[in-house]
Chain A
């Protein structure tokens, strides 16, 4: 198939490599080096989508990141990606893309009926129309809007691609490889600075690829190629194409997304698809150039109306004609450059210039080439539906208010140039407050806030000579300050055609009796009339106007529409543009894929997984694991067809009757040493610690300064100045920071050191009436009798040649011990316990049985110590020392904490002794009371009591101390349950605690 709009011998594409691709099901050809957009235009395809609101036909408007129209659904290697700009997507063999926002097809789109209803779809239409009746929102309006509006469709499949993150430091980060980027990078690199030069496109050079200039007797492109290849050779320089610096954050941290594989049919093995760079730069040079802005006229969204710079880029870079009968509509000299390129390639353009007989070298060249130029002329409206067929043009008066007689002129494209808008987004993100530059009618960066400098067109400098000079100087000066090198570079001779001033004209008035839509924002269908309505309705702040009309929103973020929007608001409001101000530029500058942001932190990689040294044993013995913070812990050990309920009941029962063993390695452990260690404990725990003898453990509770319980655990005095503290699994890190805080900042006079030893010790709890017999067999040389190792006692022992710490402490409420050995010996310890324990009918038990055991004993854990309870609430008030001060003590005198009916922990049993009580349910007095039913408390933890073989729960209940024996209702609207219950003591089993001391 021939590419009817492709020129021969023009462009930077590789004509030796033909690529086939599919668009909307039809096959086409392009060349290596094409974008999807350039390849489609080469094939004469201009209808690529439908607009957001009115479903009007959409073509191509730009040739890069500013593109508001050509958004496609891309299919690549079995995956699909929505909202890809055809102007950015490089062509690859087998590429497939489809139009979005049209149904059933882009040629026949039912939604286009909105176009005829547009009188009913003004600004704020959704807010006004879909308000009532309320019930219609979910059933009618929302599904309708969802189907009618919106862009592409996100894949719901797991993304097979890999995305990486990289952290980098440099002296100078330079964003954009146009003339200013190249010059500053070159000067800085020659001074030995570490430079990163980032270019968004695949080709380096920016405007040098399309402009007719001469630098040091070379064409712009040749000069750019020379600089780039020299930079690539330098070890202190990183040159990256396909890399967009999209965000400027605090302390000169910038983020760049590098598209490594998006231009290939599939990602190479071991390569990521994209890489996100976090770059900390000493200096940032913003050389992001400028974006041409449109002039507003009737039906200016018709396919075939596009930026004149884009037309030039398609021609010079891709060898593609956007039309064969072009009309150039301009208010400045840039339009002439495009016209000249057309003319040089055998196409006869017509130029409409809003100015009255301007003079410059560029205009003279156009005249000399015999180009038809009409001065003081404007395009009133484009004609044609799916493609421009002609234009209504007219002479315009000196004051730009009156249109002359309307003439119709045949054309197949209208290339618009309304002058240039500096790309100040990055500078603005850095905190730089922009200022308005009158002579270019646009904002440029003001005073630098961070270490950033904006160069060239991005700074409103539009001549090459000036741009190169200032960029060389800036690159040289900044790098010299960093490296102290001072390599002088000779400045090349620059030849460029001189241009004259532009006309500050931006919007063509409506002719009498015509009501053409004149669009400001092309992606969101925001027309002049929409802004007028918003202002009439009282919206004043530009931020409000933006949100009400959606001007400048969506994937292009108004790169071509923002300034014209401001012009309109300032005109209606009779203000100057800087008084209206612009909306805030926020990162990202261009859309970034979610995959790149997430990087490798997906699935199991999203957080570390910690396993105890006995993990493999658990796996081999049918453990079913549960996430406990970052730890994996056995929840239960499955036997045969057992479910969770049956297995945990069996395991818990075996602890109560024989002996069980539980992996408690995950408990936080902190080693505390120093002469003032006892004093520290005395201050952080609520009970007394100064008289704890060596070889004894004590249970302690620590509070936050606001009196809320922070954590609990046992701490053992190993020797005179050495303690071993345990914390709950969840709070281990917080408790360590808490101790460090007080030691470093509040009481630096205390001579104590703390260090986490959680991972250094493997722990096994053996619990049950037969645990002492088992312990004696494990440690035949130690005295583990009730006298030799009493409750809360501590000894060191020899476990078949391995040094072990033995603590007589109990969480299960049974006679129990915890054995700690160095982590490397954990598995050895575990296997020995299982082996020796066989004769005592030992079974391992998981966290589910562990919970059952502690709940029916009324021992509190994380679900009660939930950051909302004080010691009294957990019946821990007996642990509050009256003799000494401790962290948080003063807060306990607060009125609410001492109220008579203060909440307190209780036990809850269903009256029928059968119905399980869902955790999180509420306790109420009357289950039939009108809503909202006053809540008296909540269920914190539930289990099936193995002691009594019925359900049992713990609850935090208002006035809990006086509620024992009361009958209440448990209500769980989520589970649709109402359960009559009786309130009992939280100590359901062995309330006197005799077993632990037996």
Chain B
């Protein structure tokens, strides 16, 4: 079970969180004309990375904040966690 450092609450076990997918995906602006390809990329197309990956988790059984977590998808090592409004660097 992963041990995730919630930037608001501190170290907590994985079972307090729920996974939310790739954190680097940006939703296209509302009302903006975009191609089918761009929309498909946003909705469906994800890289299945081996290695470092920024992903979203929600601390559902804690502060209910969505957070960004940099995790190695192979080793499960967690390098960094950020609040929702912090930019991935």
Query: Are the chains A and B members of one assembly?
Result: yes
CB-CB under 8 A for A737 and B84, given A705-B42, A744-B66, A885-B31: no
Q: How far is the CA of A252 from the CA of B13 in the complex (A)?
A: 11
B2 A740 Cβ-Cβ under 8 A: no
Q: Is B43 an interface residue (CB 8 A)?
A: yes
Secondary structure class of chain B's binding surface, majority of residues: loop
Contacts of B13 in A (CB 8 A): 167, 253, 280
Distance in angstroms between the alpha carbons of A683 and B27 in the assembled complex: 13
Neighbouring B residues of A410 by C-beta, 8 Å: none
| A847, CB-defined interface residue at 8 Å | no
Residues of A within 8 Å of B44, CB to CB, are 706
In the bound complex, do residue A280 and residue B39 qualify as a contact, i.e. CB atoms below 8 Å apart? Answer: no
A126, CB-defined interface residue at 8 Å: no
Tell me if A891 and B39 are in contact (CB < 8 A).
yes
Q: Please, how many angstroms separate the alpha-carbon atoms of A167 and B30 in the complex?
A: 46
Q: Which of A705-727 contact B (CB under 8 A)?
A: 705-706
Docked pose: A278 CA to B31 CA in angstroms:
49
Whether A740 contacts B1 by the Cβ 8 Å rule is no
Bitwise, A864-895 to B at CB < 8 A (1) or not (0) is 00000000000000000000111000110100
Residues of A within 8 A of B76 (CB): 250-251
Q: What 1/0 flags go to A689-714 for Cβ under 8 Å of B?
A: 00000000000000001100000000
A468 to B77, CA, bound (A): 32
Among residues 59 to 82 in chain B, which have CB atoms less than 8 Å away from a CB atom of chain A? 60, 64-66, 75-76, 78
Is A449 engaged at the interface, CB distance under 8 Å to the other chain? yes
Q: Given A251-B3, A253-B1, A748-B85, A890 and B66 touching (CB < 8 A)?
A: no
Contact among A251, A449, A705, A745 for B2, CB-based, below 8 A: A251
Check A740–B42 contact: CB distance below 8 A: no
Interface string of B25-38 (1 = CB under 8 A from A): 00110110010100
Residue pair B58, A741 in contact (C-beta under 8 Å): yes
Q: Please judge, given known A-B contacts A278-B1, A683-B30, A885-B31, whether A740 and B43 are in contact too, CB under 8 Å.
A: no
User: How far, in whole Å, are A741 and B3 apart by their CA atoms in the complex?
Assistant: 22
Is A890's CB under 8 angstroms from B65's CB? no
Whether, in the assembled complex, B6 has its beta carbon less than 8 Å from a beta carbon of chain A, the answer is no
Known contacts A741-B66, A745-B66; decide if A885 and B84 are in contact (CB<8 Å): no
B26: min CB distance to chain A, Å = 9
Are A249 and B84 interface neighbours, CB within 8 A? no
Chain B residue at minimal CB-CB distance from A707: B43
Shortest Cβ distance from residue A931 to the other chain B in the assembled complex, whole angstroms? 33
Q: Nearest chain-A residue to B18 (Cβ)? A: A737
Residues on A with beta carbons closer than 8 Å to the beta carbon of B42: 705
Interface residues on A, range: 20 to 34
> Contacts A706-B44, A745-B56, A748-B84 given: A740-B3 contact, CB under 8 Å?
no
Q: Does B20 contact A (CB under 8 A)?
A: yes
Residue of A nearest to B78 (CB): A251
Task: Return chain B residues, CB-CB under 8 Å to A733.
Answer: 60
Tell me which residues across on chain A come within 8 A of B58, comparing CB atoms.
737, 740-741
A746 at the interface (CB under 8 A from B): yes
CB of A431 within 8 Å of the partner chain: yes
Contact, CB under 8 Å: A706 / B2: no
Q: Number of B interface residues, CB 8 Å?
A: 27
Q: A682: shortest Cβ distance to chain B, in Å?
A: 10
Which residues of the partner chain B approach A249 to less than 8 Å between Cβ atoms?
Answer: 1
Across the interface, which residues of A come within 8 angstroms of B27, CB to CB? 705, 746
- How distant is the Cα of A745 from the Cα of B1 in the complex, in angstroms? 26
Residues of chain B lying within 8 A (CB to CB) of residue A740 = 58, 64-66
Q: Which residues of B contact A706 (CB under 8 A)?
A: 43-44
B-contact 0/1 string along A625-646, CB 8 Å cutoff: 0000000000000000000000
Least CB distance, A709 to chain B, in whole angstroms = 15
In the complex, chain A residues 570-591 whose Cβ is within 8 Å of any chain B Cβ: none
Number of A-B contacts (CB under 8 A): 57
Which B residues lie within 8 Å of A891 (CB)? 39, 43
CB atoms of B34 and A890 under 8 A apart: yes
Q: Which partner residue on chain A sits nearest B58 by CB separation?
A: A737
Which chain B residues lie closer than 8 Å to A252 at the CB level? Answer: 3
The distance from the CB of B52 to the nearest CB of chain A, in whole angstroms, is: 16
Q: Shortest distance in angstroms between B81's beta carbon and chain A's nearest beta carbon?
A: 13
Q: A253-B1, A706-B43, A890-B39 are in contact. Are A431 and B20 (CB under 8 A)?
A: no
- Closest residue on chain B to residue A755 by CB atoms: B64
List the A residue with the shortest CB-CB distance to B3.
Answer: A251
Q: Is the CB of A744 within 8 A of B84?
A: yes
Whether A280 and B3, one on each chain, are in contact in the complex, defined by CB atoms closer than 8 angstroms, is yes
Contacts of A705 in B (CB 8 A): 27, 42-43
Which residue of B has the minimal Cβ distance to A706?
Answer: B43
List which A238-271 residues lie within 8 A (CB) of chain B. Answer: 249-253
Contacts of A251 in B (CB 8 A): 1-3, 76, 78
Collect the chain A residues with CB atoms within 8 Å of residue B78's CB.
251
Smallest CB separation, A383 vs chain B (Å): 53
In Å, the complex CA distance between A737 and B56 comes to: 12
Which residues between 739 and 755 of chain A lie within 8 Å of chain B, taking CB atoms?
740-741, 744-746, 748
Query: Which residue, of A449, A748, A891, A893, has the highest number of chain B Cβ atoms within 10 A?
Result: A891
Instruction: Choose one: A431, A745, A890; the contact of B75 (CB below 8 Å).
Output: A431
**Chain B residues closer than 8 Å to A884, beta-carbon distance:** 31
- In B1-57, the 8 Å CB interface with A consists of 1-3, 13, 18, 20, 27-28, 30-31, 34, 36, 39, 42-44, 56
B63: min CB distance to chain A, Å: 11
Interchain CB contact (< 8 A) of B20 among A683, A741, A890? A741
Measured CB to CB, the closest approach of chain A to B59, in angstroms, equals 10
Could you say which residues of chain B place their CB within 8 Å of the CB of A890? Answer: 28, 34, 39
Counting chain A CB atoms within 10 Å of each CB, which of B30, B34, B39, B84 scores highest? B30
Enumerate A882-940 residues with CB–CB distance to B below 8 Å: 884-886, 890-891, 893
Partner of A745 from B18, B36, B84 at Cβ < 8 Å: B84
Give chain B nearest CB distance to A430 CB in angstroms. Answer: 11
Tell me the smallest distance from the CB of B34 to a CB of chain A, in Å.
Answer: 7
Query: Inside 8 A of A885's CB, which chain B residues have their CB?
Result: 30-31
Q: Which of A145-184 contact B (CB under 8 A)?
A: 167
Complex CA gap A706/B39 in Å reads 10
Closest to B68 in A: A745
Q: Which residues of B contact A (CB under 8 A)?
A: 1-3, 13, 18, 20, 27-28, 30-31, 34, 36, 39, 42-44, 56, 58, 60, 64-66, 75-76, 78, 84-85
Extra contacts besides A431-B75, A705-B27, A744-B65 (12): CB < 8 Å: A250-B1, A252-B3, A253-B1, A280-B3, A706-B44, A740-B58, A740-B64, A741-B58, A744-B66, A744-B84, A745-B66, A745-B84
Residue pairs across A and B with Cβ atoms less than 8 A apart, 29 shown, are A250-B1, A250-B2, A250-B3, A251-B1, A251-B3, A251-B78, A278-B1, A705-B27, A705-B42, A706-B44, A737-B58, A740-B58, A740-B64, A740-B66, A741-B66, A744-B65, A744-B66, A745-B56, A745-B66, A745-B84, A748-B85, A884-B31, A885-B30, A886-B30, A890-B28, A890-B39, A891-B39, A891-B43, A893-B36
Q: Sorted from nearest, which 3 A-B pairs have the closest CB atoms?
A: A251-B3, A744-B84, A885-B30
